[in-house]
Chains A and B, each alone.
Chain A
Amino acid sequence: MVHVSATPVLALRGVSKRFGAVQALTDVELEVHAGEVVALVGDNGAGKSTLVKTIAGVHPIDEGVIEWEGKAVQVNKPNDAQNLGIATVYQDLALCDNIDVVGNLFLGREIRRRGVLDEVEMERRSRELLDTLSIRIPSVRIPIASLSGGQRQVVAIARSMLGEPKLVILDEPTAALGVEQTAQVLDLVERLRERGHAVILISHNMADVKAVADKVAVLRLGRNNGVFEVRSTSQEEIISAITGATDNAVTRRAARTNGEIKK
């Protein structure tokens, strides 16, 4: 099994976030260790995206503490998060269709030699990176437009790996993918773990979560609703935590048909 560090790479302690009258997050706790995949699950509006954005520096937190490798840190801007070693891959991958794979991987951080783009070095490093992640794409010199959805997703993830981040956040990486492509992305997530990265995986898909995650952190209405070890937890338990075991569509329906609640 992969070595899991004692001090978490990232720890959230009592994090809260408000948007106007909406309390999006309330006292949320979360720990991620190196070499660990934590799945962040929850229903729509549970606060998953908000939580990720607070970590990525898009929304500064209102209350609570973000700890990075045991030390409290301020994450107020996306740059702060990047400098700490947090890489985020959002759902819309933000790749340029007209530029080739190498160009996209190095977009905004091109390698230069005497002021000129060093295409040779960039291509060599791209191949190296894609090889270590066992990513197969037809050629690193074709435009992104030629790639399938799954291939684009792995390119976007590979791009986040260029800065050697300690923590990688993947926002619904398999949402729009087919069976085979999903498997490719999940393979890649496992490889990230093997290489000692901490991974936060947002997903709606329980099968994916069961397949790659070590822990599942459930959010419900902006609050923690349990952290589960994936191996020792059944899918039903996780789902009941997501929906709220005692109050969900199923129980409400049962109650309604008994005539106790009028709509």
Chain B
Amino acid sequence: MSIDKTSTPPEGQTVENPEAAAGAATAVDPRLLVREQGFAGYITEFKRKIKAGDLGSLPVVIGLVIIWIIFQSLNSNFLTAGNLSDISVAMVGTGMIAIGIVFVLLLGEIDLSVGSVSGVAGATFAVLNITNGMNEVLALVLAVLTGTAAGAIHGFVFARIGVPAFAVTLAGLLFWQGFMLQILGDNGTINLNDGIVTKLTSYYFSDVAAAYGLAVVAVAAYFLTGFLGNRRREAAGIPSRPLSDLVLRTVLLAVVSFAVAIVYNQYKGLPLAVVLFLAVLVLTDFVLRRTAYGRKVFALGGSVEASRRAGINVELVRISVFAIAGTFAAIGGLFVASKIAAANQGAGTGEFLMNVIAAAVIGGTSLFGGRGRTWNALLGVLVIVSIQYGLALEGIAAPVQYMITGGVLLATVIIDAVTRKTQKTAGRA
């Protein structure tokens, strides 16, 4: 009965379930909304999803376009290749941390310590590599592992001892900030030598072929995975997406990737930071949606009791998710340090944490758990950094920046709460 009444097709295009028709024996409940075959069916399905509040990334994409149009009309330098390229490099640090936050939000929890942990990672690297002269790679690995350990400790106290994640990570926020200041010592700032970490955000593949090549590989890989997946589904006799749908998505992806490639090639070329960010996004998205581990994370966000009864080791998954958040906080921290080529006392403090959480949420990850993708982090951080750069171009000071970012965040969580309500009445949440 909870099958959504409001979205019953008004034009009377209720469709017979093709499988049931083949099976023939049982009559299909006429209220059931089953997708039409072919592309037309895809459009009706899409319309129904929108009505039911299943907006996905649509609001944030529209929001991003509006933000870009506004800043471009204020200052024609905004949509130049140089500025866009800088935005995309600047967003990687925040974006990496936001990926970890997406994992935590999927559990329906929050991690307030990621800002401080990112600062600790930058400071750890600087102290080990510069002050103590440790091998750069070793220092980098240890810095990342510091983040993993910090996250695992938070996860342990939360999952095993049962302290709310909010409180644990709030304590972590203070502790790790103090820890960072302690190891940075009296000088406060340690400048980084030219090396791997500084290269993270300063290296560009200047060969034109790099950006285009990556675009070609991405588009081809997307199409092939979709196509082979469809073939397997057809062979197994289960419904697959129409080919026209896949082609449309591929064309869309191709347009975006080549547009981005052209922009990069007009400036310094393809930034290494962006390549790494995209690689991590692909990897984490794969882990969340295609592995048993990812399924467990989503299950915990849906119902802890159901997960426990299904034999999922709830504690272990929780600890691991916080360890992942800590790891990505550390990786992000290294990118932030790389951008300014120094580890300083201000790293990971102030509004930085809020920007990270805002990025994950603005991208469309639900605060209520169980809904979201790591790609959301990319969209969200694009919005946040676009606002920062746009306002900086206009010479608007930080107070106004905070207010605007706050407003955008509020709008996003309102959208989240409202769509969740709509989804509930439409029976999809």
Q: Which residue, B229, B238, B307, has most C-beta atoms of chain A within 10 A? A: B238
A25 to B336, CA, bound (A): 65
Is A95 among interface residues, defined by CB-CB distance under 8 A?
Answer: yes
**A-B pairs with beta carbons under 8 A, tally:** 109
Is A20 among interface residues, defined by CB-CB distance under 8 A?
Answer: no
Report A145 CB to chain B, min CB distance, Å.
5
Q: List the B residue with the shortest CB-CB distance to A181.
A: B1
Q: List the A residue with the shortest CB-CB distance to B106.
A: A98
Encode contact with A along B250-271: 1 for CB under 8 Å, 0 otherwise. 0000000000000000000000
A138 to B310, CA, bound (A): 24
Q: List the A residue with the shortest CB-CB distance to B29.
A: A136
Contact partners of B310 in chain A: CB under 8 A: 94, 107-109
Give the B interface residue count (CB, 8 A): 45
Q: Are B307 and A134 in contact (CB under 8 A)?
A: no
Q: Are B306 and A94 in contact (CB under 8 A)?
A: yes
Q: Which residue, B26, B303, B305, has most C-beta atoms of chain A within 10 A? A: B303
Is B28 among interface residues, defined by CB-CB distance under 8 A?
Answer: yes
- Choose the segment among B96-104, B291-299, B373-381 that binds chain A (4+ C-beta atoms closer than 8 Å): B291-299
A103 to B229, CA, bound (A): 18
- Choose the segment among B181-189, B391-399, B421-429 that binds chain A (4+ C-beta atoms closer than 8 Å): B421-429
Is B2 among interface residues, defined by CB-CB distance under 8 A?
Answer: yes
Contact partners of B292 in chain A: CB under 8 A: 110, 112, 117
If A95-B306, A117-B295, A136-B20 touch, whether A124 touches B428 (CB-CB below 8 Å) is no
Encode contact with B along A136-150: 1 for CB under 8 Å, 0 otherwise. 101100110111110
Say which size band chain A's interface belongs to: 35 or more
Q: Are B34 and A138 in contact (CB under 8 A)?
A: yes
Q: Which residue, A96, A117, A119, A142, has most C-beta atoms of chain B within 10 A? A: A96
Encode contact with B along A96-115: 1 for CB under 8 Å, 0 otherwise. 11110001000111101001
Is B137 among interface residues, defined by CB-CB distance under 8 A?
Answer: no
**Residues on B facing A (Cβ under 8 Å):** 1-4, 19-20, 23, 25-26, 28-29, 32-35, 229, 232-233, 236-238, 290-292, 295, 298-299, 301-303, 305-307, 309-312, 369-371, 423-424, 427-429
Q: Which 6 A-B pairs have the closest CB atoms?
A: A96-B302, A108-B310, A98-B370, A94-B306, A98-B302, A107-B310
